[in-house]
Amino acid sequence: MAQATKQLSRRSYFFWATVFFLGIFSLMALLYFATRKVDYVWRWYRVPQYFYYKDKVEVRSQIEGQVEKIVAGQKANVVVVTGPDGSEEYQIPGKDIRVGEGDYIYPGDILGVHQKWKVGILLQGLWLTLKVSLISIIFGILIGLIVGLARISANPALKWSAITYIELIRGSPLLVQIFIWYFVLGTVINTLLAKNGMAQLPPLWFGVASLAVFAGAYVAEIVRAGIQSIHRGQMEAARSLGMTYPQAMRHVILPQAFRRILPPLAGQFISLIKDSSLLGIIAIRELTKATREVVTTSLQPFELWFVCALLYLVLTFGLSMFVQYLERRTVVS
């Protein structure tokens, strides 16, 4: 009987797995035939250049003078230009030298040309999105942990301050908060820094601040719910062993709560990665803004937006897998 049930369960598993893959292939075929009906020329071969490309670099003279000599080297040729104010050396990799010894040149004249690999705009946007998201997640966790503990505190000043912060942040759109951080707080902060002779903060840090503060409000509620889900007897038992309240929270309550809040934290941070696409409105060239700029110049909206969505999927899926790994580690420990 048990063997028959096991075989039936296995057949059912393979049947529904087949249904799943047939559904995926059907959707892909439907998308393919739909795109064939659109009057659009697909140019996937042009997409890789927006990740990594070989650029032509022109080495130009900065002074007026005469080419005194050209010295051939193993890695680069050296062109020495001597003028009234002295001489300068220019290194030119490769053999494409556009001047000869004795030539008289002026500032801006091309001395040589060489090829150099450069990072494309999509890869730059992907890196900036990853950087902004990681920094925002770290600060969001710190803010959320502090505010979450204050939210369950018996001190009314801490508790009411935490509630006010959470309700204000969760009650307004992230887009509005980004505008406030950049146009209002950013203007005030940079004005004060400029008056005191200090360097102004770039828009990137106001974008990070808006994301971190926004995520911190949600993380605080997740932390609060995770701590309150632990039975009250755990705290009483820890206190009866002579632990102080901070020690009991650190060694007994928070480790247990951490296991329970990992899944909702993962969902919040995945949303944060996607919300970082709003930072393009304050001139931060993250992945979405970089894609929009490339679409404007290349007129390839279909390919590039598909690639943009795929890159976001890679980031969010990677974070999801990392959180699942942490869940397995905490269960084992």
What's the CATH fold of domain 121-332?
MetI-like fold (1.10.3720)
**Tens-place pLDDT, residues 52-88:** 888 888 888 888 888 888 888 777 888 888 888 788 8
Given a contact cutoff of 8 angstroms between Cβ atoms, the answer to whether 208 and 276 are in contact is: no
Supply the pLDDT for residue 142. 94
Residue 6, pLDDT > 70, answer no
Query: Of 134-143, 216-225, 240-249, where does mean pLDDT reach its minimum?
Result: 240-249
Over residues 151-180, the mean pLDDT reads 92
**Tens-place pLDDT, residues 8-59:** 577 788 888 889 999 999 998 988 887 777 777 888 888 888 998 888 888 8
Global pTM?
0.81
Question: With left for phi above 0 and alpha for psi between -120 and 50, is residue 38 left, alpha or beta?
Answer: beta
Supply the pLDDT for residue 333. 46
**What CATH number should be reported for the domain whose range is 56-119?**
2.40.50.100
Given a contact cutoff of 8 angstroms between Cβ atoms, the answer to whether 79 and 102 are in contact is: no
DSSP state of 278: G
Query: H or E segment at 69?
Result: strand 65-71
| Coil/strand/helix, residue 55 | strand
Residue 4, pLDDT > 60, answer no
**Tens-place pLDDT, residues 228-262:** 888 888 877 888 888 887 788 888 888 888 888 88
Interatomic CA distance for residues 273 and 263, integer angstroms: 16
Residue 311, pLDDT > 90, answer yes
Helices 156-170, 121-151: inter-axial angle, 10-degree rounding: 150
Supply the pLDDT for residue 331. 66
Nearest CA to 93 out of 74, 109, 110, 107 is that of 74
Who's near 246: CB < 8 A, 6+ residues apart?
none
Distance in angstroms between the alpha carbons of the first and the last residue of the chain? 37
Interatomic CA distance for residues 122 and 53, integer angstroms: 11
Structural domain spans, the chain = 56-119, 121-332
Supply the pLDDT for residue 205. 92
In this prediction, residue 5 has a pLDDT band, given cuts at 50, 70 and 90, of low
